[in-house]
Structure 1
Amino acid sequence: MEKRKYYVSVQSKSIMYNQGDAAYELEIYASEDEVEKLRSLFEEWERAEEHTYFRAHYPGIPYHHDSENDEYDFVLKEIYKTISDIGTDETKVFIASMNLQMGAPKEF
């Protein structure tokens, strides 16, 4: 499949064709299938984010003992791993500098 350049904002969960459409953090070269996978991960991350919202109202639960937060963290790391796999050289260097601990998936 043909790959083209896209501009990605993890913060706003967006993937753009044109550099000037909105603010972005990262650049990737991706096929339509890879872009669809990334969009799917953004949707999954949004659902995980919603789950953490409800949990946040119970401050007595430590962050590291909460499966909703584990899910949120895991999906976010999967997003960065996917972006790194298809990113430009600058994007790969930036993500590597983040020192994310990519671990095995947990059951949520």
Structure 2
Amino acid sequence: MEKQPYYIQMANGEIQSRSDVSPWNFRIFANEKEIQDLRELFNEMNGADSRTFWRAHVPYIPYHMDKDNDQYDNRMMEVYDKLYELGDEDARTHIKKLRNEV
């Protein structure tokens, strides 16, 4: 399958095939299967994010002891790994910089 450019907005998990549709953070080159996999990762990350919302209203469970937060963090790292794998040089440089700050 031939790879096409896609434009990714991390804040809302948006994947666009055109750069002028909405603001974007990363440009990647992917085939349909890779985009499908990335969408699934975003869906899993958003599901975990929704569960963390409810946990935030239970003050006696600390962030670092909550499995939903761990799942969200793990899914986000998987998304960044996939973006690094598929990303252009700017995307890879930015993600490397983010990893060094952690």
TM-score, structure 1 as length reference? 0.89
CA distance in 2, matches of 1:33, 1:23: 24
Cα drift, residue 46 of structure 1: 1.0
CA distance in 2, matches of 1:99, 1:55: 27
> Which residue does 2:61 correspond to in 1?
61
**Do 1:27 and 1:87's aligned partners in 2 also have CA atoms closer than 8 Å?**
yes
Is residue 83 of structure 2 the alignment partner of residue 70 of structure 1?
Answer: no
CA distance in 2, matches of 1:72, 1:51: 9
Q: How does 1:84-99 map to 2 (within 5 A)?
A: 84-99=84-99
Cα drift, residue 100 of structure 1: 6.6
**Do 1:77 and 1:100's aligned partners in 2 also have CA atoms closer than 8 Å?**
no
> Which residue does 1:11 correspond to in 2?
11
**Do 1:44 and 1:75's aligned partners in 2 also have CA atoms closer than 8 Å?**
yes
5+ long unaligned stretches in structure 2: none
Is residue 80 of structure 2 the alignment partner of residue 80 of structure 1?
Answer: yes
- Taking only aligned residues, the RMSD between alpha carbons, in angstroms, comes to 1.3
CA distance in 2, matches of 1:62, 1:98: 25
Cα drift, residue 60 of structure 1: 2.0
Cα drift, residue 10 of structure 1: 1.0
5+ long unaligned stretches in structure 1: 102-108
| Residues 1-31 of structure 1 deviation map (CA, whole Å, 9 limit, x = unaligned) | 1001110001111110110000110000001
Q: How high is the sequence identity, in percent, across the aligned residues?
A: 34
Which has the larger share of helix?
2
